[in-house]
Every structure is written in structure tokens, then in C-alpha cells.
Structure 1
Amino acid sequence: YMSTAKIMDEMLPRFGVEVTVVEQSDISAFEEAIRPNTKLIMLETPANPTLVVTDLEAVVRLAKKQEIIVVADNTFASPLNQRPHDVGVDVVLHSATKYLGGHHDITAGVICTSFELAEKIWDTHTSIGSVLSPMDAWLLLRGLRTLPLRMDRINSNALALAEFLEEQPQIEKVYYPGLPSHPQHELAQKQMKGYGAVIAFAVKGDYAATQRFVSALQLSTNAVSLGGVDSLVVHTAAMWEGAMNEEQMKTAGIPANFVRYSVGLEHIEDLKADIRQALKEI
């Protein structure tokens, strides 16, 4: 993984691109960060891995006043749970590796935008970009055929599992936009139809205890993808420690006891039972 700091500090300046990072749940932070040369606002909502939700309508209103393009990474929501275009977002991105493919067997991306912007992106893409292979394109089409059915099951499983986790004494905090306890639950209800697969939670323990918990899980695979048929889990601090130092992770809101769990299509009672037995290792 390449940290955001490394991309901003080392890579983008090579292309003459200046970047300002803001707290994406704070609309005033966006307003204060806009400069005379600001051309684009980049969003991700819900955000990885903290599941912070950004007010899409508010950002779009702010950007349109100054003719700034708004780009939203909609991967964590999926196109069925959230439709940023409907509130005026100019460009919507999806990692098709996740929900759209749905079977953990392709690497692909999708850009959804107007014909005018698509032509500009296409011209650059054909010069410096890569092309999806025919086999991967076929696998992506296969995944799209079952997307609505999978999302129904994923949404219901994830909400039920998030509610279950909140009841466990070994769990310190659960972060899921579908829970009333989420700081931006009302905003999520307003702009999302469902809340997706990913649940973030903190166990009551240190780094080592979190590692033991993740290692004890038997039904979910310890892997970094999300949104597929199988449940996947990662110890978030372990996933990012190669790209971010301790202070950067603290700033990003990633404590040592943080877990990111992507809920799949398994039976909900099996998922609960697996987590219940793994919690004994904390």
C-alpha cells in the first residue's frame, strides 16, 4: 500500500498537482481549503477504513459556486446503495474489483461521468493507461448480473452483524453507517439506500489481542478486498503499518485495535458464531 501522504508529497508534485487534505465530515473544512487554483474536490464516502460519511449535496453546492469538478469514490457504498450523480457529483469512481465483480477474482475499475468529461479521460487513458482484458471484462459482466441479489443479502447481513457486535462485551466500539450510534447515521440515511458490507470495530485489547482475534476467525478469510461473496477481515493497523507510521495512523483514526470486516453471503448465524468463538482469544 502507498500512503496518501507519500502520493501527495512525492508523486503528484511531479505532475504540478498541489493537494490539501481536509476532514471530510466537516463541510467548513472544504470551504476553507479552496484556493484560487482549485480545480477538483476528491471524496470517498463512506471512507476507508473509518466509515466516515461525507455530505455529498453540501460539497456539490460549494463546488458549483466556483466551477470545481467533484469526484466521488463510491466503492464502499456500491451503485445500488448510493448514487452520487443524482446530487450533482461530476465523476463517480468504483473499484470494480469489489462489489461489481463480486467474486474476488478480477482487478478492474470504472469511471462514470458525462460524455464531455469521459472523452477527456479517454484520451489520457489511451495514452498512459491500461486496458481491461477480455476475460476480466467477461467476469465483471457476470458479477453485474447478480449485483442486486448480492447487495440485498450483504446489506442485511452487515447490519445484523453490526448490531450483534455492539452487544458483545469484548467489543469497544462499532462503526457502521446503518447503526444509530454512528455519528453521521442521519446523513447516511438521507443519501444511502443501504449501508454496504464493511464494518469497522475496535476490540477491547491491544495490537497483539487484535491479532489473536483476527487469526482465530475461521469463516472469514484474512484478506484486504471487500464486497464479494465471501466474508473478509483485516487487522487494520497491521494492513497499513507498512505504508504509514504510528503518528500518521493516529491522525487517520486507525488505532492498534481496529478491525475491518467485509461481510459476505454466508448465513448470518454462522458469521455470529465464528466471531463469538474468536472473541474468546482476546
Structure 2
Amino acid sequence: MSDEPVVRMGETSAGVTRPSVSPIYQTTAFDVPDLEILQQLYAGQLTGDIYTRDSNPGMRALAQSIAGLEQTEAGAVFASGMGALGSIFLTLLSAGDHVLTAQSLYGKTLQLASRMQRFGISVSAFDVSSPAQLTAQLQPNTRFVLVETVANPLLEVADIPALVAAAGAVPLIVDSTFTTPELIRPCQLGAAAVIHSASKYLNGHGDVMLGVAAGSAQLMARLNETASIFGQNANPFECWLTQRGLRTLPLRMRQICSTAGRLAQFLTTHPAVLKVHHPSLPQHPSHALAERMYPQGTGGIVAIELQTGGRTGIETVNQFMHSVPQLPFSPTLADARTTLSHPALTSHRFLSPEVRSAAGISDALLRISVGLEPLDVLVQEFDAGLKTLLK
């Protein structure tokens, strides 16, 4: 029997074995033996954790895994992909600075860049297919250039080495969410840093909200400090789930890339489809570049524009989605399941109809995130749903 107060019970002790899976360190803070050790921890002379907003064993382990996958000095973890990107902006920019972005980016990224203009940041955009245009738009106060490896949602491919050369001394920041380090490692091609929404392929199961970055140890330390100050830090359970997801990343990406390419080929033959956007197709403007840079594929995203047949684009998409309930509408991507999304009413809804149209994002555009189902199942389901548009 023990007279120990209940608030002091339940502590674990190490045995001669260890768990097969790393534990979740679900704690707000860590007990520090004395003030001398505290000072050594702050100085980086000892490895350890003090407060989970700043660091946690599971968070550090995931950051190290991301650095290993991207072959960089260090990694960092954040509350979301936008948290990672926000930390980049808040760390590298001050009032009076300029940032140059690709024209085609995830909608929330465009919103973030626009929002930064309230704080005296100037933003301009360039066509990612034109490195010369990037060089022409650089300014003395340009602090970084931002691109996606494969753009959302029409899948334009960025020539990373060419853009690095065009940017010169200005750092290139690359969002590689669509492609993952299984398909490309931008920092190995000269980029200063790479970011991911780990909620997508890195986790791969649709049950995480997390972001990661990788690059030099100095830059990652600065990003970590920013994330702590602005509350953009990750949490231990999300990191644990993502670390688990990484174990199957190579297998998942191999299957998804194969299925996406073959599904895209099938969709080009369907009379209910006006246009298919996928870099594996010879008619895609980035096809030659994708063949050179992505021999394994460009990920699991396929975008299609539906034949409207006298309906509005939104009516057409709605009819298709109602006809295939087994293909759920989900405003995300990279779940284990195949899902559908509608860029005009989700990621890019804040843009005016005129701007969306100029960008090639019509109301009849449907984004497909290919999952792990067998190809023949997906072909049957898409065929059945698309045929309802022909009646």
C-alpha cells in the first residue's frame, strides 16, 4: 500500500525492453532536474525538451525523418501546411520586402500572399514555365521566390533547377505537397527549403492536420522559433500519426502514381470529358518536363473538365457527384480513398470568376485525388457516373 498522493501516481519506468513503436509524448511540459541543466538545454548543449510548444521527442523525431527523406540538414514541424508556409513568410519577410510567387498556386497560398500586403510586403507573380520571366521580375528587395513542384489544380510542372538558376542569389522555396520526397527532392536541386502539407501524402490516411519543412539547420531553427512565437507549432499525436504514415509512403506513392496515370488515359477517351489535365499525357503543356523530372509519376492528382451539355458547370459537377456516391466530395487530397473536389468552390473560390477563368479553372473543372483502390474499380465507377451526363 502507498500513501502517495494520487496526482503523483501513474509514472512509467523503463524496463529491459522497449516498445516496437515510439510512444506518444502527450505532455505539455517536461520536468527539468535543475537550473544548470535548464540553461544547458536553452544553450543547445544538451538534447532534451522543456515545453511542447517549442519541442517534443515525437516532433523532433518527425523533423529528423523529414530531413532524412529530403536529404537536408534539418527539418521542422508545424500545425498545418499553411502553418509551415506562414512561418516562412513571417521569418523571411519584413515591411518593405518583396516576394515573387508562381501564378498558379494553392488558393490559400495566394490568399496568404495577398494578406501579407497589409503589412507592407509587395507581391508579384510570374509564369512558372518561364524562368526568364522570374529573372525579369526580381527586385533588390526580393527575399524569396515561391513555387509548387506541381501546381494546384492544373498540374503545371516547375523546372526546379532552371528556376534556381533564374533566381540567382534569391532563395527558392518549394511546396512539394503533391509530389513528396519519393518523387523529387527540391533541396537536392538547389532549392533553399521545401515545405509539405503533411496532412496529405506524407500521412496518407486523411486523419491529420500537420505541416513540415526541410532545409538548412539555421533556417529550420529560425522557423521553429517563429512557430513557437506565433503558435504555429505541431502537436505530438499528429506527429506520431504522420511518422506512422511515412512507413508506407514508398508503396503508396508507387501505386497512386501508376493508377493516376492509367486513369487519366482512360478519361481522355470518355465522351463526357472535355479535357484531362495530367502531365503524363502528351497534350499536357508540362509533359516533356514531367517525363524528364518525374520518371515515377507526378503524384495522384488528375483534373478533368466535364462536358456540360447545356447545363451550367456547377450543375454538371453536381450531377456527376450524385451519380457516384462511392467517390466522395472532400475538400482535401491524398486520402487512402479516391476523392473529388471542385476548385472553383473550394481552394480558389475567393478569386473572381474572371480571374478563375483566365487561370483555366472553370465551374466544370473537377479535381480527382486518386487513392489506393484497384484501377478497374475506379474505371467502372467513373464510367458509370460520366455516362449519366450523356443522357
| AA in 2 matched with 1:18 | S
Report deviation, 1:6: 4.5
Alpha-carbon distance in 1 for matches of 2:348, 2:118? 25
Report deviation, 1:172: 0.9
**Residue 120 of structure 1 aligns with which residue?**
222
Given the alignment of the two structures, is residue 42 of structure 1 paired with residue 146 of structure 2, yes or no? yes
CA contact 1:227–1:263 (8 Å) conserved in 2: yes
Give unmatched runs, 5+ long, in structure 1.
none
**Residue 220 of structure 1 aligns with which residue?**
327
Given the alignment of the two structures, is residue 177 of structure 1 paired with residue 279 of structure 2, yes or no? yes
Given the alignment of the two structures, is residue 259 of structure 1 paired with residue 366 of structure 2, yes or no? yes
Give unmatched runs, 5+ long, in structure 2.
1-105
Q: Which has the larger radius of gyration?
A: 2
Alpha-carbon distance in 2 for matches of 1:130, 1:37? 26
**TM norm structure 1:** 0.93
Provide closer, same or farther for how the CA distance between residues 148 and 5 of structure 1 changes in structure 2, counting only shifts above 3 A: closer
Alpha-carbon distance in 2 for matches of 1:114, 1:86? 12
Report deviation, 1:239: 2.2
The match for 2:134 among 14, 17, 30 is: 30
| AA in 1 matched with 2:329 | N
The match for 2:305 among 195, 199, 202 is: 202
Runs of 4+ in 1 over 4 A off after TM superposition: 1-6
Alpha-carbon distance in 2 for matches of 1:268, 1:278? 15
**Residue 353 of structure 2 aligns with which residue?**
246
CA contact 1:197–1:227 (8 Å) conserved in 2: yes
Percent identical among aligned pairs is 34
Report deviation, 1:240: 4.5
| AA in 1 matched with 2:385 | A
Given the alignment of the two structures, is residue 109 of structure 1 paired with residue 216 of structure 2, yes or no? no
Matched length: 279
**Residue 275 of structure 1 aligns with which residue?**
382
**Residue 156 of structure 2 aligns with which residue?**
52
| AA in 2 matched with 1:40 | F
State how 1:121-200 maps to structure 2 within 5 Å. 121-192=223-294, 193-200=296-303
**TM norm structure 2:** 0.68
CA contact 2:145–2:171 (8 Å) conserved in 1: yes
Provide closer, same or farther for how the CA distance between residues 46 and 242 of structure 1 changes in structure 2, counting only shifts above 3 A: closer
| AA in 2 matched with 1:46 | V
Report deviation, 1:47: 0.4
CA contact 2:356–2:362 (8 Å) conserved in 1: yes
Higher mean C-alpha deviation, range 239-248 or range 259-268? 239-248
CA contact 2:343–2:349 (8 Å) conserved in 1: no
* Cα shift readout 1:96-140 (whole Å, capped 9, x = no counterpart): 000011000000001011112112212212211322222111110
Provide closer, same or farther for how the CA distance between residues 74 and 4 of structure 1 changes in structure 2, counting only shifts above 3 A: closer
Given the alignment of the two structures, is residue 63 of structure 1 paired with residue 170 of structure 2, yes or no? no
Report deviation, 1:5: 5.6
What is the CA RMSD across the aligned residues, in angstroms? 1.7
Alpha-carbon distance in 2 for matches of 1:6, 1:102? 25
CA contact 2:138–2:167 (8 Å) conserved in 1: no
Higher mean C-alpha deviation, range 247-256 or range 150-159? 247-256
